[in-house]
Amino acid sequence: GEDVEQSLFLSVREGDSSVINCTYTDSSSTYLYWYKQEPGAGLQLLTYIFSNMDMKQDQRLTVLLNKKDKHLSLRIADTQTGDSAIYFCAERPPGTYKYIFGTGTRLKVLA
């Protein structure tokens, strides 16, 4: 079945790197996404990766994709208190209008 899994919580110290992991089940998904949800707000697209890529870097963000293991990760370098939020990974299987979201990982950054 369709199931995207993430750990629920992650706590890091300010200035350290954060790594948020996700496993997905549909190996044919074309795009995989990371969304950020700040308290009391909706989700905002943080970054995405196309399925034919292994890595994508965007400033402090690095996305790694391991298609063989169906594993996606988001690394945030030099994590700041403003990065405290819930991070969702999502996939969009081909031939569908639907997005499948993970459970979300709550990142807490300690000063």
Positions that interact with other proteins (CB under 8 A): 4, 6, 8, 31, 33, 40-45, 48, 50, 88, 92, 97-99, 101-104
Question: Would the CA dihedral through 43, 49, 54, 56 be positive or negative?
Answer: negative
Q: Which is nearer to other proteins, 6 or 18 (CB)?
A: 6
CB of 45 to other proteins, least distance (A): 5
In terms of Cα–Cα distance, which of 90, 92, 85 is closest to 102? 90
Q: Which is nearer to other proteins, 83 or 104 (CB)?
A: 104
- Determine the 3-state secondary structure of 79 from DSSP: coil
How many Cα atoms sit within 13 Å of 23 on the Cβ side? Answer: 6
CB of 56 to other proteins, least distance (A): 11
In terms of Cα–Cα distance, which of 10, 25, 7 is closest to 70? 25
CB of 28 to other proteins, least distance (A): 15
CB of 84 to other proteins, least distance (A): 17
H/E element, 31: strand 31-37
Q: Which is nearer to other proteins, 48 or 73 (CB)?
A: 48
Q: Which is nearer to other proteins, 84 or 103 (CB)?
A: 103
